[in-house]
Amino acid sequence: MSTSNQVITYRQAVSDALWEEMERDEKIFIMGEEVGVWGGTYAVTKGFIDQFGEKRVRDTPIAEMAIVGAAVGAAMNGLRPVAEIMTINFAFLALDALVNHAAKAHYMFGGQFKVPLVVRTTTGGGRQLGATHSHAPEPIFAHFPGLYVICPSTPYDAKGLLKAAIRDDNPVLFVEHSTLYQTRGAVPDSDYTVPIGVSDVKREGSDVTLVSYSKMVQISLEAADLLAKEGVSAEVVDLRCLRPLDMKPVIESLKKTNRVVVVEENWPRFGVGAEVAMQIMEQAFDWLDAPVKRVSQEDVPLPYSRDLEQSALPNPAKVVAAVKAIL
């Protein structure tokens, strides 16, 4: 049976996933700051309260610990909450509920409890929001066993992975990059899911492997276009999930290209690049013809000034320079 596609924005893909899942299962409800009457900070839940009512679309106080704490309790009692934290910068306030309760309840009670919880949030810089509102700290949350961390880069992946996350019985931190909401891509009209913990090759190549996730996949693909004009063939691997982390496509790509650059928006210390590089060392050291390179945000709080902010963030030119350094 053939499936037709529609070209929609990342924002619409997330919204459609939520709407379709709420229609499918009445145990699913949404909660968060301004998700109801206002329709969400980025208009993802606009119109939901009119369709599903105040019982299933619940505006909350400005209290992230209370939001996630209440959502954990609801999940443990048989509901399937989708809690929204307006931005990942505020998720630090809910850290205890996420990593000490959501991530550990199933384990600590010998499997008697499940926590089918999704916490949606936005990440990333590039919007001149200042140092305290421009973090990309997904690796911090990925450090903790028991919590899935999903970071889609395309509308197709965003919709399919969000549906999979909502249907999964594990707690999930679902991270959407705020500058991706307007990007567009083909999404099937039919119901589908994308498997959690499976990386994806977004572009095939033979000379170097670019490993990234979320917004940095877009940066890597732009860099691959620039490299192609100079005769360099770059393969782009999208991790899609930081936990579970699927290294198989990365290792397979490395065995073909023998060179790797990891592109991340995080700071360089103790981040995704460090983890990917170490796993490559452990699993495929003999295939490396050059050290693994990292392209990351500069190791400073992100500046407010637009020019300084952009200079601190990864861009295609920095990726091209890193590739040339290992060729």
Strands 241-243 and 148-150: antiparallel
Give the tokens for residue 176.
């959407």
Amino acid of residue 1: M
Residue in the structure block whose two tokens are 């066993």: 145
Structure tokens at 220: 């890597």
Residue 133 annotated in active site = yes
Which residue is catalytic, options 33, 64, 235, 265?
A: 64
User: Within 10 Å of residue 7's Cβ, how many Cβ atoms?
Assistant: 10
Say whether 64 is catalytic: yes
Asked if 196 and 166 count as a contact pair (C-beta separation under 8 A), the reply is: no
Round to whole Å and give the CA distance between 88 and 123: 5
The per-residue b/e assignment along 87-97, b for 16 or more CB within 10 angstroms, e otherwise, is: bbbbbbbbeeb
Cis peptide before 244 (omega within 30 of 0): yes
CA dist 249 and 199 (Å) reads: 7
Strand intervals (E) in 101-189: 118-123, 148-150, 172-177, 184-188
Question: Residues 174, 165: contact at Cβ < 8 Å?
Answer: yes
Contact 39, 27 (CB under 8 A): no
Indicate the helix (H) or strand (E) that contains 30. Answer: strand 28-32
First and final C-alpha spacing in the chain: 45
How far is Cα 327 from Cα 261, in angstroms, rounded to an integer?
11
User: How far apart are the C-alpha atoms of 118 and 166, rounded to whole Å?
Assistant: 6
Of the listed 20, 34, 133, 222, which one is catalytic?
A: 133
* Residues designated as active site: 64, 133
